[in-house]
Amino acid sequence: MKDNWINVIDDSLVKDFYNQQSSEEQQEGFETTLAFGTAGIRGKLGLGEGRLNRFTVSKVALGLAQFLKSKHDSPVAVIHYDTRHLSPEFAQIIATILASHDIKVYLSDTYRTTPDLSYAVRFLEAHAGVMITASHNPKDYNGIKVYGEDGAQLSTEPSNVLSDYINALGDPLTIELPQLSNEQQSLILSVPDEVRASYFKEIQSLVGDIPQSDLQVVFTSLHGTSVPVVPEILSQLNFNQFNLVEAQCKPDPNFSSVASANPEDHKAFDQSIALANQVNADLLISTDPDADRLGIAERDQEGNIYYYNGNQIGALLLNYQIKATSHLNNRLMIQSIVSSELAKSVARHHGVAYKEVLTGFKYIAEAIRNMPEDQNYLLGYEESYGFLAGPFVRDKDAIQIVPLIIKYASELKNEGRMLKDDLEDIYQQVGRHNDQLFSHTFEGAKGKAIIDDIMKSYRNNPPRTINGLDVVAIEDYETGEKVDFQTNETTPITLPKANVLKIYFKEGFIALRPSGTEPKIKLYVSLTIDHFDDVAQQINEEIFNLK
């Protein structure tokens, strides 16, 4: 098995990555298999079925070709890619294999954002979209996300069908890269310019005019795809007080100048803060490498920096959207089940309906798709810094949120206020909500057993108190039941099954969610209590026996 892979190393595209890996990392590639899950496929570059390389990418492409041909007589697909190592090469491989099966392909001729891909699928009325990206993962990772004809990531059922097609192909080393006939080659087309132009018009319609102000903004793409698209859309909206962190706004698959390519990480703002101090900036914005998520921070006149978590950004955006749509009735906000009660409290305060869905933006897209015609969508968001205000895209979209946040901050600047002032007003209205995420990694089979034991323990023997907080209810999304300990009633949960436990207190909730693709388990803590940081850490220590 290993020898077969070593024999094709020169054709694998990943020779350099393989040679840089430790012997343990190399061996892992031969002992594991990349699984196509509900969020696509993501993994390290290297040799073996457990790594991304020319052959495993070809296997996914061939499975996708068979999947599309089984559903459509004349399928059409759109392929975009980010700034990572081998992203353009993988995109070309997939385009070639799809075209060899007489599938029309719109292939981007440069790196593009994930929301660009979602919009292009809808605009071009394609049957599928493919995005080559690994978001904010380390530089030696890449991935493949597959989208359906509505521009959303594949929902569970078609994703499972596609996975079956891929798995049925067996050994990826048997899959040849085809030579295309002239007719097949003609099926690979460039993405038309009118797609981006139409996308920009939708954003302009969503945002409207940005008021004149002396707001200064610092922006970083973290070596990803959001430059030049963000400067272009802001220029069209006549906003020019926009300062790029030049060293970080050039495409770089090694993410050379960033401590972290994740906008959730405060370290991602280090160079932005330095520039903000030079230009006396007010607002700092970062997008992740494929530009579907964004983080923000504010700087006051004394140079103090205020960071915002995903739940706070979601609440602020919802607050802004509610004010901007006061003339509309029957408005709706959608959030994931592990997101804070904060935005829901804002919605309730203003008489706006809200809906909760499973984690994964495809579920927000599904809820948008199933909305009644008379309902007005305001916002969908996840606590992991993913937001969507305009449903012309069906995935989280940092590109549309950047000008919306800038407009919001510009209006506040003209009133002598900051976003933090509006957030404080929200707290005065609905109470102060505190949130913290703990992520724990347990490697190998032993690690999986630890994660399974934690979930089994809390599922089969739910505690009545955690760190002195009385448990009032527990939702088990795997069994699909909610148990109310105050009334002893059991009620069904009307969402698809998922390995998530949500434990409620009068003061808020915690949630436990193992990753489906990595040896990780996440603990979400959301409470309206004093001394939150200490309490959250104590809960974390109790659940994971860290003392």
Residue 322 burial (C-beta neighbours within 10 Å; 0-12, 13-18, 19+): buried
| Token pair of 215 as six digits | 């707001």
User: Which candidate, 508, 522, 435, 499, places its Cα nearest to that of 466?
Assistant: 508
Half-sphere exposure of 522 (CA within 13 A, CB side): 19
Residue 130's H or E segment, with its range, is strand 128-132
Active-site annotation holds for 135: yes
Q: Which residue shows structure tokens 């693709």?
A: 517
| Token pair of 448 as six digits | 């999986």
User: Which candidate, 155, 283, 268, places its Cα nearest to that of 218?
Assistant: 283
Q: Which of 100, 135, 221, 226 is catalytic?
A: 135
Give CA–CA dist 266/251, Å, rounded: 21
Q: Where are the beta strands (DSSP E) in 232-388?
A: 242-244, 283-287, 294-299, 305-307, 331-336, 353-357, 376-382, 386-388
Q: Residue 246: CB partners within 8 Å, gap ≥ 6?
A: none
Q: Residue 537: CB partners within 8 Å, gap ≥ 6?
A: none
Return the sign of the alpha-carbon dihedral for residues 377, 381, 386, 387: positive
User: Which candidate, 61, 74, 73, places its Cα nearest to that of 162?
Assistant: 61
Q: Where are the beta strands (DSSP E) in 469-546?
A: 469-476, 481-484, 489-492, 501-505, 508-514, 520-527
Q: Residue 210: CB partners within 8 Å, gap ≥ 6?
A: 237, 238, 239, 403, 406, 407, 410
Residue 120's H or E segment, with its range, is helix 114-123
Give CA–CA dist 466/488, Å, rounded: 19
Residues with catalytic roles = 135
